[in-house]
Chains A and B, each alone.
Chain A
């Protein structure tokens, strides 16, 4: 390790999305690609990006004037810190590129772009009703039989989804950010994986390898047991989770979601009063 500025900081691929949107599915697909390593969730990238934001906002002027560390160098230092977390498993994989998937990476996308200007930022989006249905299932498990107000919780989870979609709007609205930002719809990924993935790998400037469609045959040994979707990504793509909300959410819970997220759903093409897009 050097204290000096490096000539070129690598550009990891970052994957984010609201939890239960299909980010783990995309992770194992990318990890199956022969040139990309994407291990289990590190769960540190958002915190470290926030730390770099804190340093910039609280001390950028002092760092430059009294320490001789200008803003580009400060960002490079924090990018190197994030890379230190990625490097051991990446190097062990022997693959030339690395990706990191932790759902709430999404919230750090703007700062990640500042730290890694060449990094692709991939956002997985799913119908919020299915997201909420899946998250409520987890919430009920976490409650261990204790009563919880699932209607209020559905509204809260819908608010998280809506707030997260604002990050996407921000990324799309800025030409500098938009060039490195890519959205994938969970529904399209599981219904028509090949065209969706061909488009994704073109964005990543990688060849499409049909082997990625058989991710479930190669991921059994490396899937982290702490990942919520570890079981789901050990079988072929399935569409049965699309529209699960119709069975899994009560009318009150559905209403709680659409009252919060309805406007954003329509904007993204999810029909509020009909079938999901």
Chain B
């Protein structure tokens, strides 16, 4: 392997309906960044690398002249090769992975991509639960709608369980300065200030200007025809409190009961 090193991708992740695709679309508007649809197998690849490194690393070093970093870089280059045509076509230099599943594999992803930075989108669980009701997501095994798209109380529990499982990785990476929490509400209510912070975090200071560019009245189509489309041109506060009028009071209480201990950590009350 030559001394050439791939430029590790940025990672944008979060619970579904928390603004992951919105943030990815905004970053895609930057002249040096490109984002693409979620590739879940990248998470499998990171976990596979971790398994190989932990169980076979000694054997590979002893009998195959394969060092730990060499094996890791083989996987890094594999990812870089997948992103290369897109970056080359658009004349951009760094890829942005958008992935919901990355939330549950943050440490493996951060270890595989040692220079990556991770943006975790967080949104009020009550708004997430309400938004999930708009999604036509079905169990691929039996074709039935997923429970959290049918019942907002289940959506609240889904949010809480997903976040609880992700917290160790979030806490670990946050302590190293490689992870930034971005609240969806802050992105909508004060986009320039929030994106300035994001720009500083990822070392791309020009984000607010690019936001204005990206905010031209455009609609980003869903990649799978199941997500509601994104309207990047309508970053406003309307979607922040919509749950207050869109959900029955007892449902709101049920969601909050499941999610409060974690939601409060991120400033939701």
Contact = CB atoms under 8 A, between A and B. Distances in A.
A30 to B, nearest CB: 16
A69 B45 contact: no
A105 interface: no
A271 interface: no
**Does more than half of chain B's interface fall in helix, strand or loop, or is it mixed?**
helix
B86 A54 contact: no
B63 A224 contact: yes
Interface stretch (A82-90, A153-161, A211-219): A82-90
Contact of A47 (B52, B60, B223): B52
Interface stretch (A73-81, A116-124, A190-198, A255-263): A73-81
Contacts, number: 95
A68 B71 contact: no
B81 A47 contact: no
Contacts of B36: 62, 66-67
Contact of B85 (A48, A59, A69, A89): A69
A92 B64 CA distance: 10
A226 B65 contact: no
Q: With a 10 A CB-CB cut-off, give which of A51, A67, A73, A85 has the most chain B CB atoms.
A: A67
Given A77-B81, A92-B65, A1 B37 contact: no
Given A68-B86, A224-B63, A51 B39 contact: no
Interface stretch (B72-80, B128-136, B207-215, B228-236): B72-80
Contacts of B41: 51, 54-55, 58-59
B74 to A, nearest CB: 4
B71 A85 contact: yes
A1 B39 contact: no
Contact of A3 (B56, B66, B70, B84): B84
Interface residues of B, number: 36
Contacts of A1: 1-2, 4, 77
B85 A42 contact: no
B115 interface: no
Nearest to B1: A1
Contacts of B45: 51
A43 B55 CA distance: 10
Nearest to A92: B65
Interface in B104-155: none
A3 B64 contact: no
A39 B81 contact: no
A43 B71 CA distance: 13
A73 B82 CA distance: 9
B239 interface: no
Contacts of A21: none
Contacts of B48: 47-48, 51
B159 interface: no
B44 interface: yes
B219 to A, nearest CB: 17
A182 B236 CA distance: 65
B168 interface: no
B228 to A, nearest CB: 19
Contact of B86 (A40, A51, A66): A66
Given A44-B52, A47-B52, A59-B40, 9 more contacts: A4-B84, A42-B60, A51-B48, A54-B41, A58-B41, A67-B86, A68-B85, A69-B82, A77-B78
9 contacts: A51-B48, A67-B36, A73-B85, A77-B82, A78-B78, A81-B75, A85-B60, A89-B66, A92-B65
Q: Across the A-B interface, give the 6 residue pairs with the lowest CB-CB distance, nearest first.
A: A68-B85, A84-B74, A88-B65, A3-B84, A55-B41, A40-B63
